[in-house]
Structure 1
Amino acid sequence: MTSLWTAAVLAGVGAVLLAVRSFRPSPLPAPPPWTDPLPDASPPAEMAIHQLPTGTYENRAVLAYRGGSFGDLRKFAATAVLVQHPAGDLLIDAGFGANVDEHIATMPSYRRSPHELGATVRDQLAARDYDLARLRGVVITHAHWDHVSGVQDLDVPIWLNDAEGRYVDRAKDAAVFRDVSRHREIHRYAFDGPPYLGFPSSHDVHGDGSVVIVEAGGHTDGSVVVFVALPDGRRFAFIGDLTWQMEGVTLRAERPRLLRVLADVQPERVRDGLLRVIALADRVHVVPAHDVRAYDPIPLWTSDERVPPATGRG
């Protein structure tokens, strides 16, 4: 009995030490930078992007990336991005919706954190008399509650690939998505295009290289990265939750092991996707969905920039 008790204690101590070590800095190996030309893109002159912040919630940096400080309390963004295009506009994610308190309540208590609410995407669009008929839909980077809560306020299609469709059918973490999408059109798209910037397959939304969705599963089955090319030559990569904060890219710091196990369906695929993004960071502005700093180069929707005409949903 004593030997069994000793073995149990040693196993427990070992597990604690392993967990502690997983929070220490341990940068991923630096991938070779992307040196090939960027893919061709012909974004129309009227194309533009805007950020629509809908609120924030609190999390500690120690839980966001390896080497983060416990004392560093971060405001995690819940921000949608409106991509305007003459062939029809798209939202990337939808942020917090009007019923976000109900959506947060569906989470286990240990995953709830203090949050601040801003105006919903729908309210922000309405404030500038935006015609929702211009909106082709919401491209979700993945189906977790803090990316889809605002879908409930928008009667527009939800863009979903088959792998993420399988995820939302089975995953507990997709309960909010199942609720908000119940009476929404689902627009299925396929990765029918070639490899793109190191990712295995792609979908070119408009056929002009201005908005390209790539398969980057791992956080969820069908999570994606959305690349946007603007007429002024700037390129953006909206990477969802490949990393929660910019340090995932700048310090090559993945999530602590415990958080990878809890948050990611396939942690190794997340690592592969993060390394691909790190290789692009000198050529493309990378936007982790929850880092408020990453949205700084994107104008707020409250700007007075002229809204181009749309030609329909297509």
Structure 2
Amino acid sequence: MKVHILHTGKVYIDQALAYKEKNLHPMPYTGWLRGEEKKMWVPVSSYLIEHPKGLILVDTGWHEEMRTNQKKHLGRLAYSMYRGELPEGDSIIDKLNTFGVKSNEIDFVLLSHLHSDHVSGLNHLLDAKKILTSELEWKAANKKIGYIKSMWEGAPIKTFELEDVPYGPFNKGLDLFGDGTLFLIHTPGHTDGMFSILVKMDEGWLLLASDVGYSNKSWTQMILPGVTTNKSNARQSLKWVRDFSSRKDCIQAIANHDPAIKPQIIE
């Protein structure tokens, strides 16, 4: 088992989007009317998992259109709140090419949730064998604001229903191969249907915590993301990541946007 941590661009956000703030500003996470001193660049991560039963890609990073026409790709509203950067060589297709992997060789593209920085590059991967997200996330993303539906329009996305699993804040998710080696763990709160990935490595569990928190300090200090759809669920998910990360059999818990996490291979 190998897990490649990839940086597929970065995103410039208000710090209140990463770490919830209490102040007089009604929506500080938007970055509107807030100075540059409140802004920060954070990585946009994807993960390539070499599993004995197949190649798995978790999230897709930015689409290459981010290099040429961000305003069109994101839409005016999103563009007013954040912007991205995708250097040459950093798109998901660029990254796969460096491994000699073609998109049609990917067995699963797992979309932890459907926010733009996780699904933007999906159109580069439409010929993957299976594209999967949770049924809860799919329903929420197609009904609620905060999503850019054009990013997955026409994509052959399949959904899964939550099942009982032995891990997670609600003990719900999916045992992807049915053998206890890779779980999709229901960790809602930031979005209704977001899931984290729990991978069984030789020396213990690796937890890819998506946006349950934006960095290690999120769960060590119990700081919620600035945007949540359910604060109670978000807090419970964050607490579970904190507790699981302290287990002796947990190698590491990794947040998608943590600047301290560098591209690397974990095996």
Q: Shorter chain as normaliser: what TM range?
A: 0.7 to 0.9
Give the deviation of 1:198 after TM superposition: 4.0
Give the deviation of 1:98 after TM superposition: 1.1
AA paired with 2:207? A
Distance 1:75 1:293 in 2: 12
**Aligned pair 1:240/2:240, yes or no?**
no
**1:81-100 map, 5 Å:** 81-100=47-66
Of residues 94, 107, 128, the one that matches 1:136 is 107
**1:1-314 map, 5 Å:** 47-61=1-15, 63-65=17-19, 71=37, 74-100=40-66, 101=70, 102-113=72-83, 115-118=85-88, 119-155=90-126, 156=128, 157-175=130-148, 178-231=149-202, 233-255=203-225, 259=226, 263-283=227-247, 284=250, 285-295=252-262, 298-299=264-265
Give the deviation of 1:65 after TM superposition: 2.1
Secondary structure at the counterpart of residue 46 of structure 2 = strand
AA paired with 2:13? N
Give the deviation of 1:146 after TM superposition: 0.4
Distance 1:250 1:218 in 2: 17
Gap runs ≥5 in structure 1: 1-46, 306-314
| Residues 202-261 of structure 1: per-residue CA shift (max 9 Å, x gap) | 211112222101112221121111111112x14221122111222112222224xxx3xx
Q: How many residues align?
A: 244
Distance 1:87 1:272 in 2: 32
Distance 1:71 1:112, change over 3 A: closer
Question: Which structure shows the bigger proportion of residues in strand conformation?
Answer: 2
Q: Tell me the TM-score normalised to structure 1 length.
A: 0.70
Distance 1:201 1:195, change over 3 A: farther
Identity of aligned residues (%): 21
Give the deviation of 1:137 after TM superposition: 2.4
AA paired with 1:207? G
AA paired with 2:77? M
Distance 2:208 2:146 in 1: 21
Secondary structure at the counterpart of residue 77 of structure 2 = coil
Secondary structure at the counterpart of residue 75 of structure 1 = strand
Distance 1:129 1:291, change over 3 A: same
Distance 2:166 2:153 in 1: 33
Secondary structure at the counterpart of residue 151 of structure 1 = helix
**Root mean square deviation, CA, Å:** 2.6
